[in-house]
Structures are given as structure tokens and as C-alpha cells.
Chain A
Amino acid sequence: MISTNQHTVSSYTNSFIGMDEAITLKKLIANQSIRIENLDVFIEDQHILKDVNLTIPEKSITCIIGPSGCGKSTFLKTLNRMHDESPEVKISGKVFVDDENIYGPHVNVIDTRKKMGLLAQRPCPLPMSIFDNVAYGPRIHGIKRRKAINQTVIQYLQYVGLWDEVRDRVRKSATRLSIGQQQRLCLARGLAIEPEYILGDEATSALDPLSTKKIEELFVKLKEKYTIILVTHTLRQAKRIADHIIFMYLGKIIEAGPTEEFFNNPKKQLTRDYLSGSFS
């Protein structure tokens, strides 16, 4: 077992060696945003994630790919502690976010979740108006002033390109929007809590190609400010927008690296098989 995550290490480990070995992505350790050490996740008796060691670089897009059931979504859920809601899930290991282990004893789960904006597979607007959907996060986090809320809502609706489409009906129910608009609304809602990270769990799989394109463009725009981690089913999407790729199979990280290198020169036979479509 190699643990590369020493604060002094600043080199880029490009050796995507054995499955059990640590994999680090290209970034200085000092700038790293999420660092995962010896993460194991069990759901009842099933070993879902097996000894995951990983560093996710900040202000870039990292795509997690792999066949269904390989643990991608489970992994994403460990990052914002959504497994807390399911007592049958057992987690061991450390997940450092901003150098703080979010599974540590004195961590407030609300604070952790506030740092992570989650974009789910299917958009799920809250049962309230478009305006209130975006205002919900700031409101529950204690912003009372009407003016500040208005400003936030407009700012983020503009950011996701929804403001011009809905400005006449921001007080109407959000469920009337098209599914692509709903997903952008959910993104604006997530951004309004001012997270540092954006997690996307197959965030475009329910959308039509045009809406997918809009969301992808937003991700690319967002990576200037945020660290983005996406689970995706489509290799083409990963190729289009990712800076880094993590390939998972049966709960293990098989290979990880910069997008171009990953696709052009995969190191592992399993990766080559997956990319060539031998299994999915």
C-alpha cells in the first residue's frame, strides 16, 4: 500500500500502477482540493468501493467512467456524505476536503454538503416557484434580506442562461419548465448555496442533445471557479469536457490520468477493453 498523500509531495505521479496502489492526478499537493485515502465502502455485506486512493485536482473537470454497478455513484455520494442517510452503508477511510477529513469526528455534515453542489441524474425541482427554488438554499442558510436574495437568484439564473427564458414567470411553478430547463434550474439552485465543488451524477443522461450541450458548456465555464467531478456513462462526453479521467471497475480504480493520455495511450488492458467496447 502506497500512500502518496504527503504534504511535501508535489510531483505528478503519472504511474498508474497496480490497482491497489495510490493514484494521484496532475496537480500540486498544496492546491489539491479533494484527497481520498484508503476509502472502503460496504453496503450490507457487499464491498462496493475497494481501497480507493485518489487526489482530485481543483478547478478542473474530473470525469469518473466505468460500467454500471462499478461504484461510481456510490463514490460520488461519499463526497457529500449522502450515505449518512442509509445506515446499511459502512464507510472506512478518509476523505479530505480542503484538508479536513469530512468523516472526522467534529465535522458538521451540513457544512460539508454546503460545499458540494449536487446535480442529480434527473432534475428534481422543489415544489415551489422558479424563484423560490434558487432562493431556497440561501434562505435556509440564513440569508434574510430580500434584496440580497433577489440579487443572488437573478445572478445565478443569468449564469445558467435561464433568466431570459423565465424572467416573466419566475413566480410560477418550476415543474412547468422543460426537463432541460429544469436541469439548468437545479444547477442554479446548487450554485446559489455557493459551493466550492460541483458533483454531477450522470447529470445529462435524461436530457436531449441540445440541453446536454448547454449543460456541458456550463461545466466548462464553471471550472474556472469550481472543482467539478462528474460521473458519466458516455465516453464521448468525458472526452469532450473532462480534464482528467478516472476509470473504475468493480469498485476499484483501474486507471486515472489526463484525458488525452487516458484515451490515446491507456496503460491497462482492462481500460483498453473498456474503451474499445468489449464490455460496458
Chain B
Amino acid sequence: MKHLEEKIFKVIMICAAMIILGVLMYIIGTVFYRGLPALTLDMVTKLPGGGFYLGKEGGVLNAIVGSLYIILGSLTISILISVPLVMYINFYLPAKSIFSSMIRFSLDILFGIPSIVYGAFGFALMIYLGIRASLIGGILTVAMLIMPIMMRSFDEITRLLSRDLPDALLSLGATKYEMVKVILRQLMPGLVTAILLAIGRGIGDAATVLFTAGYTDNIPTSLNQPAATLPLSIFFQLGSPVEEVQNRAYASAIILTVIILILSFSARYFSSKFSKNKI
């Protein structure tokens, strides 16, 4: 009987592993099978020309640049807010402070809010402020979406840090601020992980940018102009009845994946480089 139990459970486990691998292979396979032939140099170097969505020539440079603008802008904002917040709740507030548990609880809630709600909220806010769909609207809304992700994962890693390092620094007579500067160096890999999670979520999200950044066939030259994004570009291309254009959507998906990979590797590279330098 026990033997049978063991066997059944083993089969279930292997099936689960197979399903995950299978799904991953299927997704990658489809994207590459349909996208690779359509992935030409024009795709990454040209703006969509007239009739692009009906199969005429052009590329998705507008969406590539727009996505990069939005993710870099929103990353900057969320790093500038996340790092001080996480340092504050971990090293300035007492360990059992009510305020820090309130902040953590709010982050948990914000984390679970669907991105379309952020999009709707950002849109409502923009109407109230009288801003139309623009790069700045997209940046702020995506920042709202990724901030809880970044804060939560950075906080998790920071809480794992042993008290030894803060104690060693304080006993050397360091002020809290001097202490935090050194601790951040130690936490740099953790911060990079948090940033990467945020990039992954932020760059691929369509719902937040749908109303707030808008869409355009041009590259925005100011914060007040609308900006195209890759997820929306994929969405519009997939919606085309022309098969060639649908294949270009898969090519755009490959581009999106490659951008995430490049951002990941460069983040890792700069973090290792940074942590070798002096204060």
C-alpha cells in the first residue's frame, strides 16, 4: 500500500514538472516559429509606415523606444522612493513598530491590485489634472504598478540581513546614514533582483499604459506626447487580419524578451562593478 502511494505521488510530481516544461517550450516554440521569419532589421530600426498594420513595410521602433522610456523613467522614480522607504522601515523604525507593519500591509494590498486598476486610476488622475495620454502619464502609472513589487522584494531581502553588520557599523561610531550607505552596498544584489522583478512586470504590462501612455506611430520627443509600448504594439498587430502582421506581433514579442534579457544582464554587470568600488 505504501509502495503504491509512493509511486502515485512520484508520477504526479513528474507530470507537474513535465507540464511546466511543456508549457514553456510551447510558448517559446510558437513565438519563435512564427516570429523569427518576421524578425527583420526593419522591425527594430524603422517606424511603422503608412499601412504597416495592413502588411506594408515598417517596424516597431516607436514601441521599442517608448517602452524603454517608460520603464527607465518609472524605474528611476520607484528606486528613488523604494530605497529610502525600505531603509526606513528596516533600520530607522523599531523592529516591532506598528507603522512599519502598516506599511508592509499596504504594500501587500498594492501588490495584489490588478494592473488595469492602476491604469484606470492613473487615467482618472490624469483627467483630473488635465493631462492627456502621454509619456509622463505612462511613466507615473507604471511606477505605481512596479513600486510595491520592488519595495516588497527589496524589503524581504533586507529583512534577511543579519544584525551583525548594522551593529558593527554603529559600534564603530557610524551615524545611521553612514550605516545605511554601507548596508546598501551589501544589499546591492538584492536591490538588483528587486529591480529585475519590477522590470519584468512593468515592461510587459499593457493594461497600465493603454489609457495613460496612449499609442503613436512616432517616437515621443517630450514628456507630454503620447508614447507607444511593445505590449500594445503586439496587441494591435495581433488584431490585424493580415497573417504577416500577426507574425510581426510574435517578432515584437521576441524583441521584448531580448530587451528584458539585456536589461537583466546589464543590471547584474553594473551591480557587480559598483560593489567593487569604494564608497
Contact = CB atoms under 8 A, between A and B. Distances in A.
Contacts of B173: 110-111, 113-114, 137, 140-141, 193
Contacts of A136: 172, 182
B162 to A, nearest CB: 8
Given A88-B96, A124-B165, A126-B165, A137 B172 contact: yes
B170 A86 contact: no
Interface string B156-200: 000000101111111111110010001001100000000000000
A255 interface: no
A137 B173 CA distance: 8
Contacts of B165: 124, 126-127
Interface residues of B, number: 24
Nearest to B96: A88
Interface in A204-253: none
A189 B172 CA distance: 8
Nearest to B163: A85
A116 interface: yes
Contacts of A189: 172
Interface in B141-169: 162, 164-169
A60 B76 CA distance: 54
Nearest to B168: A124
A122 interface: yes
Contacts of A140: 172-175, 178
B175 A127 contact: no
Contacts of B172: 113, 136-137, 140, 189-190, 193
Given A110-B173, A110-B175, A137-B173, A88 B94 contact: yes
A149 to B, nearest CB: 12
A223 B186 CA distance: 34
Contact of B167 (A87, A120, A139): A120
A118 interface: yes
Contacts of B95: 86
Question: Which of B164, B167, B169 counts the most A-chain CB atoms under 10 A from its CB?
Answer: B167
Interface residues on chain A, size class: 20 to 34
Nearest to A85: B170
Interface in A113-140: 113-114, 116-118, 120, 122, 124, 126-129, 132, 136-137, 139-140
Contact of A116 (B94, B169, B171, B278): B171
B101 interface: no
Contact of A120 (B164, B178, B182, B279): B164
A190 B182 CA distance: 16
B275 interface: yes
Given A113-B170, A140-B172, A86 B94 contact: yes
B143 to A, nearest CB: 29
Nearest to B182: A126
B171 A118 contact: yes
A82 interface: yes
Contacts of A34: none
A-B interface, 10 closest residue pairs, ranked by CB to CB distance from nearest: A118-B171, A124-B164, A114-B173, A127-B186, A124-B168, A113-B173, A87-B94, A127-B185, A137-B172, A110-B173
26 contacts: A80-B171, A82-B167, A82-B171, A85-B167, A87-B94, A88-B96, A110-B175, A113-B172, A113-B173, A114-B173, A122-B164, A124-B162, A124-B164, A126-B169, A126-B182, A127-B165, A128-B185, A128-B278, A128-B279, A129-B278, A136-B172, A140-B172, A140-B173, A140-B175, A190-B171, A190-B172
Interface of B: 94-96, 162, 164-175, 178, 182, 185-186, 275-276, 278-279
